[in-house]
Structure 1
Amino acid sequence: MDMEKAVSALNNPIRRQILHWLKDRSNFPPALPEHKDAEGVCVGYIQEKAGLSQSTISAYMNALKQVGFVEAERHGQWTFYYRNEEKIQEFLNAMSDELSIS
């Protein structure tokens, strides 16, 4: 994992908030019936909750995706995002190792 890119992706309070929101699907409205089997949350719901433009949210989600903190899944015209717990834990372990006193 590129620690500099990971830290940069987290150097924005809204991106950190999005990761927090994605921990629990109930932070968002229920999925539409046609998307009930989709993993994650529709980018439109993330945009609505954050109160930011579609282009800003797309850029934020791309930054989180590039470092592996989220995964994206397409369903028709919709993109759904969910946390990549393994990559988040990998980052936390690496950060702990880097900052711990030896």
Structure 2
Amino acid sequence: MLDVDVLKVLANDKRLAVLEWLSDPVAHFPPQRDGDLVADGVCSVFIADKLGVSAPTASEHLRLLTASGLLRSKRIKQWTFYQRDEARIAEVKRALQEGW
């Protein structure tokens, strides 16, 4: 069964954009000094910049995506990096395809 909170998280164009960009981080983000784009994820600073929002606003979007299990976070030094949780995304897609 699909959790209604996941649907609420997905009902936002900025969060959907983040999920799309993180599906191919090398194509959507510049190289990072700390952390590999693929292995470690994308720094929240780059995500906020690409979204065109403040760091606190981006942080809230990323928090919701992480709380729903669609993203995983990783700390490196003082930065937080995000990457998709492909298993959870596949689970949500299956639940959406199966209907209610």
In the superposition, the TM-score normalised over structure 1's length comes to 0.89
- Rounded to whole Å, the distance in 2 between the matches of 1:56 and 1:40 is 19
Provide Cα deviations, 1:11-61, integer angstroms capped at 9, x if missing partner.
Answer: 1000000000001122101011x4348510000000110110111100000
Structure 1 segments, 4+ long, off by >6 Å, are none
Tell whether the 8 Å contact from 1:2 to 1:67 is kept in structure 2 after alignment. no
Counterpart in the other structure of 2:5: 5
Counterpart in the other structure of 1:45: 46
Counterpart in the other structure of 2:35: 35
In the superposition, the TM-score normalised over structure 2's length comes to 0.91
Counterpart in the other structure of 2:15: 15
Return 5+ residue gaps in structure 2 as ranges.
none
Tell whether the 8 Å contact from 1:9 to 1:67 is kept in structure 2 after alignment. yes
Counterpart in the other structure of 1:88: 89
Number of equivalences: 98
Instruction: Mark the structure with the bigger radius of gyration.
Output: 1
Return 5+ residue gaps in structure 1 as ranges.
none
Identity within the alignment, %: 35
Shift in Å at residue 3 of structure 1? 1.9
Counterpart AA for 2:89: I
Q: CA RMSD in A?
A: 1.6
Q: Secondary structure at the match of 1:22?
A: helix
- Rounded to whole Å, the distance in 2 between the matches of 1:39 and 1:76 is 12
